[in-house]
């Protein structure tokens, strides 16, 4: 895709915040940071307007809790129309990480993520969504 150059005028304090972002996120330059912020805004709009998005639900849980893995697996089967794949990782003798790749409307993915989060024994659950455009 061809690159178009344009000028940007910013207040001093806003430019300082942009430079902090560049440094903190290790962007090679301001242009890359601005591209990132624009894309992030586009993805947020896709979530807010309930468009088709893709992402991952990351779940950390205690596998020693009886039946928990079965309930996690059951949700994946119940919502198979949204789930692309899953990966199960043993973190240590007690904790597991489940990464569930998903695609669907933002509202349906949020609902599914909340169902995982509500299971007793889930230590942490996070939905990460990205636009598909």
Could you report how far apart the first and last alpha carbons of the chain are, in Å?
14
Q: Domains plus CATH for the chain?
A: 12-48 (1.10.1220), 52-131 (3.30.70.1150)
**Longest CA–CA separation in the chain, Å:** 60
pTM: 0.80
Average pLDDT over residues 111-128: 96
CA gap 130, 54 in Å, rounded: 5
pLDDT tens for 37-56 read 999 898 888 888 888 999 99
CB burial of 56-69 (b: ≥16 within 10 Å; e: otherwise) equals bbbbebebeeeebe
Instruction: Quote the distance between the C-alpha of residue 14 and its chain's center.
Output: 27
């Amino acid at each position: 895709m061809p690159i178009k150059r344009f000028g940007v005028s910013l207040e001093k304090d806003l430019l300082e915040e942009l430079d902090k972002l560049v440094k903190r996120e290790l962007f090679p330059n301001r242009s890359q940071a601005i591209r990132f912020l624009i894309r992030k805004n586009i993805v947020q709009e896709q979530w807010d307007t309930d468009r088709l998005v893709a992402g991952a639900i990351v779940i950390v849980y205690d596998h020693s809790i009886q039946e928990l893995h079965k309930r996690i697996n059951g949700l994946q089967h119940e919502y198979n129309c949204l789930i692309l794949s899953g990966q199960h990782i043993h973190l240590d003798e007690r904790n597991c990480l489940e990464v569930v790749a998903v695609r669907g409307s933002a509202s349906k993915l949020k609902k599914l993520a909340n169902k995982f989060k509500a299971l007793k024994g889930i230590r942490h659950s996070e939905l990460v969504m990205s636009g598909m455009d």
